Structure 1
Amino acid sequence: MLKLSGVLPALVTPFDRTGAIDFVAFGRHLDSLRAAGVSGWVPCGSSGEYNLLTDAERDSVLTFVRDQARPGELLIAGTNAPSTAGVIANTRRARELGYHAVLLAVPFYTRPTQAEIIHHFETVASATDMDIVLYSYPGKDGVEIGYEALDALADNPRIIAIKESSGVLQRAIGISTRYAGRIQLVSGSDDIAWDFMQWGADAWICGPANCMARPVCEMDAAFRRGDHARAKEIMQVVWPAMNVLESGKFVQKLKYGCELQGNPVGDCRMPFGPLTDAEKAEFAAAMQPILAWA
């Protein structure tokens, strides 16, 4: 089984003033994250506005990140689509490009039953022979990848992990204990990431890493070397900013956080709207300890 570990940023997609993908800014962004200590890349997820990209743009993003990656850096592609056939096509393309795994939520706009979820992921795994990281985010998708589905999928050799983004710690505990050695728990609830680590999450697919990579990577490193107290201290520093992120306009705030770091990546595409002055001020205040990180 492919082992997932470290901080894997759920990458934003930079845009220029015309709304086109800004690959110069993208390369600069990847360089800054690599310098902070990330262990790989997760392009074309929800933080990357994948649903607002054309097929050609998604392909160009996956190709660019693949070309920028260095040996040893893990590549996980977001290959979601509204239909199973679309997911299969996107996943096959990611495999052609050399990605190690894909990150898949349930198909959006469908709210499938647990039986439909099982059939969907089994079909994708069989048709693509690609390692799959499930992505359970009921707040966004309207349905949870529940224990009924996980019980059925846990022994599929291509279902290797689940990014758990419900924000409910009991789910992380349940997954960690129920599927130990079968499905890897990946932190996807950023404001309780330290708690996930305590329950065995060795990897963190992390949207906030776009604008606070140094502290989150230091937190991960501290926990790995057994300094759980230091990891908790860092969590306490970054938690206020993460809490503001979780309060709404998540992607807009990630991009504004990059701007605050001196690494502008442009605005979001519509229908995402801009941050208000009050929202900017709130997030900037929460980011101050992170901007001052030594």
Structure 2
Amino acid sequence: MRKLSGVMPALVTPFDAAGQIDFPAFKAHLTALRAAGVSGWVPCGSSGEYNLMTDAERDSVLQFVRDFALPSETLIAGTNAPSTAGVIANTLRAKAMGYHAVLLAVPFYTKPTQAEIINHFNTVTSTTEMDVVLYSYPGKDGVEIGYEALDALANNPHIIGIKESSGVLQRAIGISTRYAGRIQLVSGSDDIAWDFMYWGADSWICGPANCMAKPVCEMDAAFRAGDHARAKAIMTAIWPAMNVLESGKFVQKLKYGCALQGQPVGDCRMPFGPLTEAEKAEFAAAMQVVITWK
């Protein structure tokens, strides 16, 4: 099983003024994140607006990140689609590019049963022979990858982890203890990431890393060095910004946070709307501790 560790940003996708993918801005963004200490890359997730891109655009993003990555950096591609056949097709293209794993939520718009979830993921892994990090986000998908499904999938050697984004700490504890050695717990509830680390998450697929990479990477490094107090102090310092992020318009705020630090990545595509001036002011105030981070 591939060991997942460190902070892996769930990457935003930069767009230029014409709404096209801005690859020079993307390179600058990735370069800054690498300098901050990230351990890998997760393009074409929900933070990357994958559902607002064509298949060709998604492939171009995956290939760009693949070409940028160093051999030591973990590559996890978002290959979600509404159907199992679509997920398989996307996953095979990512595999051909050289990705190590894919990040998969349940197929959207379907709200599948637990039995259907089991069949879906088993079909994807048996067809592609690709490692999968599950993505459980019931607040967005309308259904949880529950213990019934996880019990059935835990011995599938290609199911290597789960990004748990329910925001429920009891779920993180349950997953960590129930599937130890079989399914790796991946932090996906950013505002309680320290708690996830305490309960065994050794990796963090982190949307906020786009705009606060230095403190989140320092937090991760402090925790794995055994300085839990320092890690908790960093979490305390950045929690207000995390909390504002989680209050709505998450992707728009990620991109605005990048701009606040002199690393513009453009606006979001419709139907995402712009932040109001009040929303900008609230997030800018919460981000001051990040902007002035030493």
Task: Look up the equivalent residue of 1:204 and give its one-letter code.
Answer: W
Q: 1:60 maps to what in 2?
A: 60
Whether 1:184 and 2:184 are equivalent positions in the alignment is: yes
SS in 1 for 2:132: strand
Give distance in 2, aligned partners of 1:277 and 1:19.
22
> Residue 69 of structure 1 aligns with which residue?
69
The aligned residue for residue 272 of structure 1 is 272
Q: What is aligned with 1:231? A: 231
Q: Which consecutive residues of structure 1, in runs of 5 or more, have no partner in the other structure?
A: none
d(CA) in 1 for partners of 2:119 and 2:261? Answer: 43
Q: Which residue of 1 aligns with 2:136?
A: 136
Letter in 1 for 2:112: P
How many residues are aligned here?
A: 294
- How many Å separate the matches in 1 of 2:2 and 2:215? 26
Which secondary structure state, in structure 1, belongs to the residue aligned with residue 65 of structure 2? helix
TM-score (norm 1): 1.00
Map residues 157-168 of structure 1 onto 2, 5 A cutoff. Answer: 157-168=157-168
Distance 1:70 1:6 in 2: 15
Deviations 1:69-109 (A, max 9, x none): 01200000000000000000000000000000000000000
- 2:253 alignment partner in structure 1: 253
List structure 1 segments (4+ residues) > 2 angstroms apart after TM superposition. Answer: none
Aligned to 1:285: 285
1:148 aligned onto 2:143:
no
Counterpart of 2:93 in structure 1 is 93
Please tell me the root mean square deviation across aligned C-alpha atoms, in Å. Answer: 0.3
CA distance in 1: counterparts of 2:95 and 2:275, whole angstroms: 36
Amino acid at match of 2:47: S
Specify the code of the residue in structure 2 equivalent to 1:242. M
Distance 2:45 2:123 in 1: 21
Q: Partner letter of residue 160 of structure 1? A: I
1:46 Cα deviation after fit: 0.1
Task: Determine the C-alpha separation between the residues in 1 that align with 2:73 and 2:252.
Answer: 27
String of CA shifts for 1:230-275, please: whole Å, max 9, x gaps: 0000000110000000000000000000000100000000000000
Unaligned runs of 5+ in 2: none
Secondary structure class of the residue paired with 1:43: coil
Give, in angstroms, the shift of residue 219 of structure 1. Answer: 0.1
Which secondary structure does the structure 1 equivalent of 2:133 belong to?
strand
Per the alignment, residue 222 of structure 1 pairs with 222
Question: What CA distance in whole angstroms lies between the structure 2 residues aligned with 1:9 and 1:261?
Answer: 17
**1:114 paired to 2:84:** no
